Structure 1
Amino acid sequence: MTRAPAFVSLNGPDNVGKTTHLVRLAERWDGFQPLGAVHEHDPEPWARVAGGDYARWWFETSTTVELTEMLLAGHAKRAAAREAGRTGLLDRGLSMLLAVSAATSVVKDGLTVAEALRTVTCIAGSRAGASETSILLMPSLDVERSYAITSGREGRPWTGIYPSYQRTLHAVLLHQADHGAYTAAVDCEGRSLDGVHDDVRDHLDLTQRTDGSPR
């Protein structure tokens, strides 16, 4: 097997199965180190903004710079928690974090998807860090179908600005995929969980059984 990357991230909108696939990967190889989401590694600022009207802060009062910098700070602390010699498993990697901030900027500031992505990419600068294999999971390669699938899985209606944000996020993710922001993109539409997971494993080359390799 080729040299393992420093990080593997699973990315995609809500309810696409990121958590389930991350758990399966962690069970498959003890070389993986689950590192979770960014707010788990930098909880203080997230607890502070969540203590008030979180949605209003996110979509109205925060600036794009503030939100992007908070996401990047958590990302850096999460990366620093990786143990030497192990591959960190990330719930949303760098490209997905930029997608979240860009989608927020589109609905809040009225930018186009391309403009918002340029803005947050400029804020991020060169803070990519160590190598990351990023897998994007999409419910569909059509924005409206993709949104319909994930919103239908929520179990309750999304309200307020959140539906607009979610639709925009799907559009941003597909735009990123079209421009090579992810190592691989997996179309999950009409497919079983096992079938999608096989694709994820194939993109990560988790097939060989050698000393220290995946079981």
Structure 2
Amino acid sequence: MGGMPDFISLNGPDNVGKTTQLRRLARRWERFQMLGAVHEHDPGPWERAAADDYATWWFETSTTVELTSMLAGGHAKRAAAREPERTGLLDRGLPMLIAVAAATSVVKEGLSAREALWTVREIAGPISALPETSVLLIPSLDPDRSYAITSARESRPWTGIYPAYQKVLHEILLRQAEEGAYDLVVDCEHHNRADVHERIVEGLGIPLPAEDLGEDDDQ
């Protein structure tokens, strides 16, 4: 099987099914390597941030430079963990990490989405050179509906600043999609897990062997 990229990332808001689809991909080929999320590869800074009140640190006391640098640093260390001749599967790749930092900057500092994206991209800098095929899973191409779908899937209501952050995040993800930041955009509305998976596989243009994938959690 040729033509595999070094990394494939699945991106999207909470509750869209990233974890489920990563597990399904991993089971299709033994040379896929699950690399998980950035905090797993650089735990120290994240443990310190979570030592008191993680939400307060994230949305109030951290700076955009600090948050973006932590996300980018973890992304680089995660990439370094890829084994030779394997394709790393990323839970949120660089475009999504940029979107997360930008959305945080919007709700915390009052920047516009355009200003926040420009600022965060400048801070992320050379990390952008990492080879990555990025897939965006989005609940709907309408940002308000997209937010409504994912928030309804949450086990308990989002509170505090988090709803505003999530709404901005959906808007930024769709802005990125329009700008071509993702190699593949999958509109998940009205499609089940199996349909979404086939859209990912076909959209990547990579022939992957089929197998009995069983059932997974839809998160």
Question: What interval of TM-score do these two structures reach, taking the shorter chain for normalisation?
Answer: over 0.9
Q: 1:32-64 CA deviation, whole Å, 9 max, x = no partner?
A: 000000000000110111011111110011000
Q: Distance in 1 between matches of 2:177 and 2:184?
A: 8
SS at match of 1:203: helix
Identity %: 65
Please identify runs of 4+ aligned residues in structure 1 that moved more than 6 A: none
- Which amino acid in structure 1 is aligned with residue 188 of structure 2? C
Name 1:177's counterpart in structure 2: 177
2:20 and 2:206 map into 1 onto residues whose CA distance is 17
Deviation at 1:126, TM superposition (A): 2.3
2:8 alignment partner in structure 1: 8
Q: What does 1:200-211 correspond to in 2, within 5 Å?
A: 200-207=200-207
- Paired residues for 1:86-125 under 5 Å: 86-125=86-125
Q: Which amino acid aligns with 2:62?
A: S
What one-letter code is carried by the residue in structure 2 that aligns with 1:147?
A: Y
Q: Give the Cα–Cα distance (whole angstroms) in 2 for the partners of residues 153 and 90 of structure 1.
A: 23
Opposite residue 195 of structure 1, the aligned amino acid is D
- Give 1:94 shift: 0.4
The one-letter code matched in structure 2 to 1:153 is: R
Residue ranges of structure 1 left out of the alignment (5+ in a row): none
**Counterpart for residue 133 of structure 2:** 133
Aligned residues: 211
Q: Secondary structure at the match of 2:9?
A: strand
**Cα-to-partner distance string for 1:77-108 (whole Å, 9 max, x where unaligned):** 00000001000000000000000000000000
Q: How many angstroms does 1:3 deviate by? A: 1.6
CA distance in 2, matches of 1:106, 1:5: 33
Q: Deviations over 1:154-188 (max 9, x none)?
A: 11100000000000000010000000000010000
Aligned-pair CA distance for 1:197: 0.6
RMSD over aligned CA atoms reads 1.2
